[in-house]
Structure 1
Amino acid sequence: MANLKNMNLTSKIVFGMVTGILFGTYLQWLMPNGTDKLIPLYWFDLSLKGFIVDGLLEIIGQIFMASLRMLVVPLVFVSLICGVCSLKDTSKLGRIGGKAVGMYLITTAIAISIAIAVALLVSPGEGVNMTTDSTFESKEAPSLAQVIIQMFPTNPFESFAQGNMLQIIVFALLFGMAIALSGKAGERIAVFFEDMNIVVMRLVSILMNIAPYGVFALLASLFTTVSLATFGNLIEYFFVVFFVLLMHAFITYPIILKILTGLNPFIFLKKMRDATIFAFSTASSNATIPVTLETATKKMGVKNSIASFTVPLGATINMDGTAIMQGVATVFIAQVFSQDLSLADYLTVVLTATLASIGTAGVPGVGLIMLAMVLQQVGLPVEGIALIIGVDRILDMTRTAVNVTGDSMVSIVVAKSEDQFDNDMYSDPQAGSNSENVDIK
């Protein structure tokens, strides 16, 4: 127990993740096929499913997720306002936004291109005989025009309540620019938001202390139902997607980082550990924003004026991991249904998925909606999505980890190009280990 107390936060989170997986797997062994197991005590029978899985683990895990989501809106809003206020020239905002959006679209296009190439090489769907009795009902994605219109809130408070990140980002940008252009009155308001930013970041630090317990509960609960047996005949599809996700995170991102910034990519990957573990555990880029933002500003050396914009924007529109799933899934479904796709079809898949990464940014179930759009574009049956839903949970967690890695990489590239980057902090292995000693403005 003394050794556990001496662990750093990363080690504690990893320990919670591993023990959660093992404990969940053990509970699944005790309760095969979802059956409950009663443990007799002195005065009552303890239900493993009712008391442990649906009780303690569910409560701890959901409280942890609620706490993360609770921080997202105030953190993004306050931090983004501080970032815009700190820009001496507000005209830089358009240039920064253009670079960020451009980088996110380019990495998404690269991701799906690699996915299609690897899937065609491996051919995971060749010779698979599967029925399509189950169907998938896809929601209609909004048009690009609707997305652009809906980015501007009619009621900012409603946007806050609904957690509409695109609208919150737009309102925060406009509000921050107004503060920057309001002279003395704006300076007084800016001081308030800078103090508020320190308070919110301290709240993030407090939440990090309960993270290992939340991660343990989430993964223990998940692995009471998920096992390799679930994958069945889709195991090859699963490992192709998983392999391409890892390749994108550990090869594509480091190469881009090295070419565009000259920085050591091994330092980048090492410092991303906390954020990627959180993303894997929560399967939500938005819920991971507090950790991603803290990693970018306190460990990587990205100035808040850049990170406060690029990180929440990336969590909203960066879909590299989802694009990889779409690329492999398109090839897999085409092979399962014995339908040949032309080069033009594959180019259509790349273009559709890349542009859809922005067009479906605020839609629930975004990955499957985007995949339905892609399949329809090339004439493949949307019902094929039902074939891969059963194995999508672990892949969803992994691609979220890839997405937040991309968010941080793009933040570094943009910050470096704008001379808003601290090289010494990036090179310091101890940077961010003690948040109280780090300037978070």
Structure 2
Amino acid sequence: MKLVLKLLAGILAGLLLGLYAPDWVARLLFTAKTVVGQLIGFTIPLIILFFITSGIASLPKNSGKLLGKTVALAYGSTILAGTFAFTLASRLIPTLTEAATASADPASKLISYISMEIPPLFGVMSALAAAFIFGIGISANEATDLRRIADQGRDIIDRLLARVIIPLLPIYIAGVFVEMTVEGTVFATLKTFGVVLVMAILMHWIWLCVLFVGTGLALGRSPLMLLKNMLPAYFTALGTMSSAATIPVALRASRQNGVSEGIANFTVPLCATIHLCGSTITLVTCATAVMYLSEHLAIPGYGTMLPFIMMLGVIMIAAPGAPGGGVMSALGLLTSMLGFGEASIALMIALYLAQDSFGTACNVTGDGVIALWADRFAQSDSASRSEAA
């Protein structure tokens, strides 16, 4: 939550400096934003490579059919949540907000004091392909040395994010808002921010209601009781902004819903990595808003967004555990599939971080639904084996 407050302070500082500070101060902050942006761009493929490789290589072994069903269910929930979010956001955002327009004075553009490029080692799609090849290969061949390298690479990038990039994000966001203030688009952007944040949180709640009502009716359980038992996990995630830190509470809540201990121990930690319906809702909603705000982008149709959402469901496996990790792992897709530039990426980071805790809470609470279905799958498989015997 301290990061959110720092983010808001960065927005306010950027607004005030853009309005009242001398030109050299605004240029200095814009230069800092440019340097941090280059570092972020360099890090994106490394996040994808190491986190996805490590995640695939560490999936539970010898779980067979149950693992496949659980992963398919979690992925399906994530894709449907993203599609639901785009359907609503693409229709509501243009009616509730106004597009930002530049001041039309090219002389008002800020120029960085430093011209520096840090090109990434490889492209986003190359990193994704390599991650799947090595992750599956490490798992199939039990290549412990390569798995250790992937895990250590993941830890290094995680520390870079936690110790360097994420602490610098408030400065980065301040530089973005200095630029928007100078260009005259900041107030329309801030108005849209409020609408989008409320919309994303409401969609989280709607999706949770859909999950729990549908599951309760299908399994013959009370949806209200199932959701009530998961509320401690929701509020824990809201405060910690971490799915991993909420695992003990989510485990206890799932057991209270009648999930067997073995299935809960298998499903809840796994879903903390692969079931990210709330984060996907946030990312899709924020991306739609940013495309509406940006002059060089436009809200696309389903032909463009559905492939993006499907890839997002895969690449979110690479989401680091630090606050804001979800948007950091998605930046590569935003640039390669939706055409986001540096300014659009900065807006995405600001929007996402402002409600990261709500997205995490939706993820964790939705994990309780996946655990219920995994328990039902396990009971059905056990009954089938008994009949066969």
Q: Give the TM-score of the pair, scaled to structure 2.
A: 0.60
Q: Which AA in structure 2 matches 1:111?
A: A
Note the C-alpha offset of 1:304. Answer: 2.0
1:127 to 95, 99, 113: 99
Q: Deviations over 1:79-99 (max 9, x none)?
A: x9xxx9xxxxx96x2111011
Counting only pairs closer than 5 Å after superposition, residues 54-65 of structure 1 correspond to structure 2 as none
Separation in structure 2 between the aligned mates of residue 381 and residue 304 of structure 1, nearest angstrom: 47
Runs (5+) with no aligned partner, structure 1: 1-16, 34-79, 85-89, 165-228, 422-441
Q: Tell me the residue number matched to 1:318.
A: 275
Q: Are the structure 2 counterparts of residues 290 and 114 from structure 1 closer, same or farther at C-alpha, using a change threshold of 3 Å?
A: same
Change (3 A) 1:419 1:138: farther
What is the match of residue 334 of structure 1?
291
Of 204, 215, 227, 1:257 maps to 215
2:242 match: secondary structure: coil
Shift, 1:130, TM fit: 6.7
* 1:258–1:144 CA distance, 2 compared to 1 (3 A): farther
- The alignment status of 1:279 with 2:263, answered yes or no, reads no
Query: Structure 1 residues 357, 369: closer, same or farther in 2, change over 3 A?
Result: closer
Pairs aligned (count): 274
Change in CA separation of 1:244 and 1:274 when aligned onto 2, cut-off 3 Å: same
**1:343-378, Cα deviation, whole Å (9 max, x unpaired):** 3112222222122233x2458623232144134213
CA, structure 1 residues 157+326, in 2 after alignment: closer, same or farther (shift >3 Å)? Answer: closer
Q: Distance in 2 between matches of 1:117 and 1:337?
A: 19
- 1:370 pairs with 2:335: no
- Distance in 1, matches of 2:148 and 2:307, equals 39
For 1:51, the equivalent position in structure 2 comes to: none
8 Å contact 1:111–1:324 — kept in the other structure?
Answer: yes
Give the structure 2 partner of residue 103 of structure 1: 73
Work out the CA distance in 1 between the residues paired with 2:332 and 2:148.
32
- Over the matched positions of the two proteins, sequence identity in percent amounts to 23
- For residue 128 of structure 1, what is the amino acid of its counterpart? A
- Does 2:224 correspond to 1:266? yes
Corresponding residue of 2:356: 396
Assess if the C-alpha contact under 8 Å between 1:127 and 1:336 holds in 2: yes
Unaligned stretches of 5+ residues in structure 2:
14-57, 104-108, 113-117, 156-186, 382-389
d(CA) in 1 for partners of 2:366, 2:315: 17
Q: Secondary structure at the match of 2:73?
A: helix
Post-superposition shift, 1:380?
Answer: 3.3
CA contact (8 A) 2:215 2:369 kept: yes
Structure 1 residue 133 displacement after superposition:
6.8
Equivalent position of 1:113 in the other structure: 83
**Alpha-carbon distance in 2 for matches of 1:309, 1:159:** 23
- Residues 271 and 160 of structure 1: CA distance in aligned 2, closer, same or farther (over 3 Å): farther
How far is 1:321 from its partner? Answer: 1.4
SS in 2 for 1:419: helix
| Contact persistence 1:372–1:382 (CA under 8 A) | no
With over 3 angstroms needed to count, the CA separation of the structure-2 counterparts of 1:363 and 1:279, relative to structure 1, is closer
2:308 to 319, 336, 349: 349
- Distance change >3 Å, CA 100–CA 335, structure 1 → 2: same
Query: Does residue 144 of structure 2 align to residue 154 of structure 1?
Result: yes
> Scaled by the length of structure 1, what TM-score is found?
0.53
8 A Cα contact 2:238 2:357, kept in partner = yes
Cα displacement string for residues 389-437 of structure 1 (whole angstroms, at most 9, x for unaligned residues): 334334100000000111111001110222289xxxxxxxxxxxxxxxx
User: Is 2:66–2:377's contact at 8 Å kept on the other side of the alignment?
Assistant: no
| Root mean square deviation, CA, Å | 4.0
Partner residue of 2:365 out of 398, 405, 413: 405
